[in-house]
Structure 1
Amino acid sequence: MISYTLRRTTRWRLTSSIALAATLTLTGCASTGGGTAKPAEPAISPTATSQPVGLLPAAEGTTTYPVTLTTWAGETTLQQRPERIAVVGLNPNTDALQALGVTPVYTLTDEPAAPWRDQAWLRKVEKVDTATRRDPINFEGIAAAKPDLIVAVGALEGKPDFEKLTAIAPVLDTREESEISWQDLQRLVGQTLDLGAAADKLVTAAEQTITEVAGAHPEFAGKTITIANDYGPQYGLSYYTIAGTFTEDVMSKLGFTPNPHAKKFVDEDVVSDENLGLLDADILVVTYVSDEVRKAREAKPLFKAVKAVTESRYVPLTLVKDDSTKLVNSAGQQVDNATWVLRAGASATSLPWAVKAVADQWLAGAKLS
């Protein structure tokens, strides 16, 4: 049940970087885009509306338009710097705009909720759709917002989606049906909007925050960590810190050393009962979807026998009922729920928040071997 994706399909995992030049091709031509298939509905002119004051920061003057946006589903051409931007897909797309100080004219309701979201910024968005990432794309709602660019990285389930969106405005997505890092996502959006230097600074600042958090916790250095999430009987216990994944990489940047057991879960992240011993590490963190699920897990003899559990190096965190942004630790204290960021929601905005939550809240007072 590996699902480290930022799209409703399984084609995008957050484990590697792709070259931006492969996705964003600067051109000097004046040809129009629209993909290889005939649009299913009439296009809305990007000049149909004027730019309200304050939607975008001043251009840096380094991106030359027209820009050909090459995606896995086809190409579109951005004739000039966009003024009205719609964003669909998971929260990193919206995060990338927020970080740059760009206010979209259309976005989705955050689901799960994003505690790092700037609410004052969100209130400036013309249309926050009641739809979430779990719903089909609201093509009519997007068209009504009259965008001249649609940021849809990770949102497309197939070429029909692309064709319907390109009938509205040029579409920004990755060139290949493959992975993209949060760093490259931020840079891709920045370069498309002629804010490439600002995007670079945001990436550097986020990475620096991780370095600073690691420096504040020298006790993590050289230790192993396992993070897992128990979804209950239907989906089982999922191993998060798999070898070669984004989650393992973040833990390594916090100072932890890779856990040799993590290689066992590259092909299958569900931890069967007979493999519960592979959860062992210098510190074991398990998040639970409910108190009932936690109690059932902790009652299993093979789980009780895990060395980290027997030696009190186990940190249980349980989702707060009716509040997906919070977890409760064994002392009954509420802590921020960074699980979503570790799984699929990393961005230059969310990741600094998440590493602080893990280091300063989840692991506060944890016993390390």
Structure 2
Amino acid sequence: MKRSRLLPAVAATAALALVAGCSSDADSDAPAAASSGAFPVTIDHAFGSTTIDAAPERIVTMGWNAQDILGALDITPVGQPKYTYGADENGVMPWAQEFYDADATTLYEDPAAGEPDVEALATLAPDLVLAPYEGFPQSYYDTLSAVSPVVAYPGEAWQTTWQDQTTMIGEAVGKPTEAQALIDGMGQRLASEAEANPEFAGKTVAVVNLDTDTGQANVYMPSDPRVQVLNEMGFVNAPGVVALDEADSADTFFSTVSLENVQSFDADVIVAFTPEGYDLASVPALATLPAVASGSAVALSDEQVIAGLSNVNPVSTPWVLDRILPQLKDAATKAA
């Protein structure tokens, strides 16, 4: 999870000045905008609520997923994060290339530790910032809200379901019906995969990110969309993962455990994010897991595939399922 970075009051003042200086020029070349038929609309989130009075014309997205959902709704943001992990050379994820227009959308730096710089976002003159998944503190929200209306995450940071993200974005841009169609379409895809792969039903699953430098594993909790999308295809959460979640008083989306305690994420099927060439069976602690011994552990090292499973939305998920379903099917069969 990103660490919070508090911004001084002067940043908000400078940001407001930048907006004032850019707004008149920005309106003349705004990219594809939202619908105008569902406003005003008020959207509740973790920091209260945000009212959007009219169809936004200059949308900036933060974090994962929002720009993909906008693209599927035929809306072009004026700004979105520039990705490095899993992205193509232009800083855009492979499944979203068809939506990206370099002449209309600015890619801004999204630091790995801390929030995007408010002044940099302000230069884009946004009239709406979409961040229904990205985690940040109240202080950052307050500073950013001085620049533009912000739709923040509704509950815990980094734990908004893909359905809620899609619904919130659809409401914010005046396309709730189209957003519901995206939800229905992806729901049907997941249901069809569950039906086509009955071996998934009832198999316990754990999704982990193996940190080979520290000898630890980050185990994703049931509230994480990576886990939820597998649940929707029939997998159930491993008892050890549920126990880790119940013991976590911080309501985070992952729990870090030592590889000495690998039994805490023992499951019929383990989906593990690993470095290239990493052999699970070569690690003594991991070799003790039945899933590793039986071949029902799926090791994913391709950064684009890992990013695809980590960015859960109606655009990215079908793309990544096409690439990992054979491995999931093989693993579930071996676990039978």
Alignment TM class, shorter chain as reference: 0.7 to 0.9
The two structures have a TM-score, normalised by structure 1, of 0.71
Residue matched to 1:360 = 326
Normalized per residue, the structure richer in helix is: 2
Note if contact 2:34-2:57 (Cα within 8 Å) is conserved in structure 1. Answer: no
How big is the shift at 1:286?
A: 2.8
Matching of residues 169-184 of structure 1 within 5 Å:
169-174=148-153, 179-184=159-164
Change (3 A) 1:108 1:135: farther
Matching of residues 210-359 of structure 1 within 5 Å:
210-234=190-214, 236-240=216-220, 242-243=221-222, 245-266=224-245, 267=247, 269-291=255-277, 294-295=278-279, 298-317=281-300, 319-320=301-302, 324-325=303-304, 337=305, 339-343=306-310, 345-359=311-325
Residue matched to 1:64 = 39
Deviations 1:277-318 (A, max 9, x none): 444433333331243xx34x533444323223333333333x
Aligned residues with identical type, % of pairs? 24
How big is the shift at 1:363?
A: 4.2
Partner secondary structure for residue 56 of structure 2: coil
What CA RMSD, in Å, does the superposition of the two structures yield over aligned residues? 3.3
Matching of residues 73-88 of structure 1 within 5 Å:
73=47, 77-88=51-62
How big is the shift at 1:203?
A: 0.9
Partner secondary structure for residue 65 of structure 2: helix
How big is the shift at 1:245?
A: 4.6
Q: Where do 5+ consecutive residues of structure 2 fail to align?
A: 5-11, 88-92, 249-254
Change (3 A) 1:341 1:265: farther
Kindly indicate whether residue 167 of structure 2 is the aligned counterpart of residue 193 of structure 1: no
Q: Where do 5+ consecutive residues of structure 1 fail to align?
A: 10-38, 326-336
Deviations 1:174-194 (A, max 9, x none): 455665322111111111211
Residue matched to 2:117 = 138
Q: For the pair shown, which has the larger CA radius of gyration, 1 or 2?
A: 1
Worse overlay, 156-165 or 67-76? 67-76
Residue matched to 2:7 = none
**Aligned residue pair count:** 311
Note if contact 1:162-1:171 (Cα within 8 Å) is conserved in structure 2. Answer: yes
Distance 1:171 1:298 in 2: 46
Note if contact 1:230-1:236 (Cα within 8 Å) is conserved in structure 2. Answer: yes
What code does the residue aligned with 2:315 have?
Answer: T
How big is the shift at 1:202?
A: 0.7
